[in-house]
Amino acid sequence: MMKKVSEKPNYNEKHYFTKSQWLVRIFLYSCVMLTIVKLISPSNNGYNKFSEARTYIGSINRAQQAYYLENYRFADFNSFDELGLGIRTETDHYHYRIISPMIPVQTLDESEYVANFEEGVVAIAQAKEPEFRQYIGAVFLFKTSEHREPITAIICEVNAGLPLPSTLPTLIDNEIQCPKGTKPLR
């Protein structure tokens, strides 16, 4: 029997949800609760702080590549603003710096490997607090017989609890090697 539109609802009548309605409600409420927990959890805040450093170093690497293609040189610390990134060299958790363009770096056993790049530049994200990871970004310009175009870059993440390494990334057999105590991020 259909109710007339003009009829008042009977509030004494019991309403029950079907199983599918209950499942949908439970799913939606669970999603809302998980989102709230994720937003306020301290582990998420730490991840975002690491993410800032990785993003900044990646942006600096890409900007260095573009800067080189336009100016035939890498930007150094004094020309950080010339990269046009609009990022600060110091944030609440990190200090960012560019190490002046470097000459080819070789391993300690120079007879075994020959540095096969012309120029390179390194960017560092140095953590202000010991619980944050630190990052090193490097951009290398390869030696080629015809021109100086091939450029490659890497980001190295310093292992938890370790200080910045005393050595920089090197280029061995056309592959960038991160220093000891770090791992490459691809």
* Domain contains 3: no
| Residue 152 lies in domain | 40-185
* Domain contains 159: yes
Q: Which residue has the tokens 């582990």?
A: 43
Number of continuous H segments (helices) and E segments (strands) in the chain: 2, 7
* Domain contains 7: no
Q: How many domains does the chain have?
A: 1
H/E stretch holding 63 reads: helix 42-71
* Domain contains 31: no
Per-position pLDDT tens, the chain of length 186: 555 555 665 666 666 768 877 777 787 767 677 776 665 555 555 556 678 899 899 989 988 888 888 888 888 877 778 888 888 889 888 999 998 655 555 544 444 444 556 788 899 999 998 888 999 999 888 766 665 567 788 899 998 878 888 888 887 776 788 988 999 986
* Domain contains 30: no
At residue 153, what are phi and psi to the nearest 5 degrees? -140, 160
In terms of C-beta distances under 8 Å and separation of at least 24 residues, what long-range contacts does 61-68 make, across chains too?
61/123, 61/137, 61/138, 61/139, 61/153, 61/154, 61/155, 62/153, 64/121, 64/123, 64/139, 64/153, 65/139, 65/151, 65/153, 68/139, 68/141, 68/151
* Domain contains 5: no
